[in-house]
Amino acid sequence: MIKNLLFPNKYNILVWANTLFLLVLLLSGYASAITIVLAYFMETIIIGLFHILKLWIVVKKGKPGDPTKNDGMSGMGVIPFFIVHYGMFVAIQSIFVFSFFAHDFPEIKEAFHLIDNYTFALQLDGMHAIIASLVVTNLGYFYTNFLATEKYKEYTPAQLFFKPYVRIFIQQFAVILAGFFFIILSQGIAAAILLLIIRLPVDLIMVGIHKDSKPFEAYVKKHSTTYNQYLETKKKYQEFSE
């Protein structure tokens, strides 16, 4: 199952293409190592924007929330709540990451100057091309794993709300690990390649755990002793991959 999920197929071709594209940019000198590392960190914002779209679709077409709970999680109010909540999370992470690289890049100002620091990041060579590739990859993931499979019908707004945080945690761990190699060991290209190597299998597995994936279905059936366990395991895996 793992082999089938990792090998190129019609569901993960965008992930493979994006990784190879970034590797070519890095090795050709069109994009620097810091560009690759910061771009993967900035993907957090792209994921958040797509999640806002997912929440809007779930509010419109998903399971209805519990109207008896006055928590703002059953209607359109969930969207501004998510924007504030996720925005604060991204801001805190941004302060940490920019502080991490400030010593080696004098263009990065004090960590709380987020607008200036993001402006610097967006002006790095190759950044616009990389951001565009990440948008395309996430768009493909959004379509194949959420829209085309009508997965939105399985969620209430409250159930979907926290789903991107698991993916973001893994992503930030990979960026911090790459940043450690970048700063401590002064191995910029090695750090960027390490980040690509770490992210590739994670993204392939998360994209591969989609609603109609035959390899994923076979894996869950093989490791389930009852039909109910099969359904529960499949549901947990798919929610984890959201």
pLDDT in tens, 167-183: 788 777 888 777 777 77
Q: Whole domain around residue 88: which residue ranges?
A: 2-240
Q: How many domains does the chain have?
A: 1
- Number of neighbours of residue 207 by Cβ within 10 angstroms: 23
124-146: per-residue pLDDT in tens? Answer: 999 999 999 999 999 988 988 88
51 CB-near residues (< 8 Å, 6+ apart): 82, 86, 160, 163, 164
71 or 96, which is more confident = 96
pTM of the predicted structure, to 2 decimals: 0.85
- 189 vs 88 pLDDT, higher one: 88
